[in-house]
Amino acid sequence: MITLSSDYGYKDPHRAILHGVLAQLAPELRVLDLAHGLQPGNLIETAFVVANSFASYPIGTVHLILTSELSGSGVYLAMEMEGQFFIAPDNGVLSILQSSRKAKSIHKIEIGEQTKSLFPGRDFLAKAAVHLAQGGAASILGKPLERIKQASLPKPNVDLARQRIQGHIIYVDNFGNLITNLSRKDLNEVLRSPSIEINLPRNRSLDRISSSYQDIGQDGVLALINSLGLLEIAYRDMRSQHINGASSLLGLNVMNEITINYE
């Protein structure tokens, strides 16, 4: 199985071309779209979607990640991690995926006339993906690498002495919900506390963590632990990212800080 993630969108022909090339190379393989509506060049968004999706796929799945496809100084990588493979430019996205995991191996992809290609996914990365999906060795694609381009997400700051937790928004979903990097584990003390204050901009704060999106919330705004186990700020009557979405109502976006005080 091969999954595809990119910032191609669904209007332009690139996604359809890639599907066609893969169908010609290996019609027996299943090719699934993981995400193509990713914000152009947004590696944090791309890594978030892939990181929270790949564990649902079978061992041996190949994830072809083509956001900011022409970045990375023309170097392309094949990474094996947790029994699956990830193909991407050396632009930092694979280092974000590794932030809480350990790759088994990383190889430079050295097939194809890479410097001449304006569409690497079509011209040679599709072949690399098929090779791995059919059980081929990553070492055939190129030499192993120990260092790749680094990019990272901010880490939560859990200050037990001051009873204060700081996190960041790392993703805005299709409904405008604000997903943070604060996990249920980070919030252990907060969830047991009788008094909490989640500080938001525009002099707004929340004093509890709800259990569902149907909670009345405070002026419609609520915080909850979502299905991914992360703290999320949402608006009860959201319709889209731009219509009643928490992001537009609160003026918040990726990398904005969230602070929680508790007793």
Considering the chain, tell me which residue range(s) the CATH 2.40.30.90 domain(s) occupy. 157-262
Element (H, E) at 105: strand 105-108
Rounded average pLDDT over 153-170:
94
Which residues in the chain are classed under CATH 3.40.50.10790? 2-140
Q: Taking 80 as the threshold, does the pLDDT of residue 241 lie above it?
A: no
Residue 9 has pLDDT above 80, yes or no: yes
**For 185-198, what is each residue's pLDDT tens digit?**
999 999 999 999 99
What is the per-residue pLDDT for 44? 94
**For the chain, what percent of residues have pLDDT higher than 70?**
97
| R_g (Cα) of the chain, nearest Å | 20
| Mean of the per-residue pLDDT values of the chain | 93
Whole-model pTM? 0.91
3.90.1570.10, 3.40.50.300, 2.40.30.90, 3.10.180.10: CATH of 157-262: 2.40.30.90
- Secondary structure class of 122 (helix, strand, coil): helix
Token pair for 172: 């805005």
Does the domain at residues 2-140 carry the CATH identifier 1.10.10.10?
no
Q: What pLDDT sits at residue 243?
A: 62
pLDDT for residue 200 is more than 70: yes
Q: Which residues contact 140 (CB under 8 A, 6 or more apart)?
A: 131
Nearest to 242 by CA among 174, 194, 163, 193: 174
Which of 26, 103, 49, 108 lies closest to 73 in space, CA to CA? 108
SS3 155: coil
Q: How confident is the model at residue 94 (pLDDT cuts 50, 70, 90)?
A: very high
Q: Which two tokens stand for residue 4?
A: 């595809």
Mean pLDDT, range 54-77, rounded to an integer: 95
Residue 240: closest CA among 181, 167, 175, 144: 175
**DSSP state string for 223-261:** EEE-TTSEEEEEETT--SSSSS-HHHHHT--TT-EEEEE
Q: Which residues are within 8 A (CB) of 257 and not within 5 positions of it... i.e. 6 or more apart?
A: 166, 167, 168
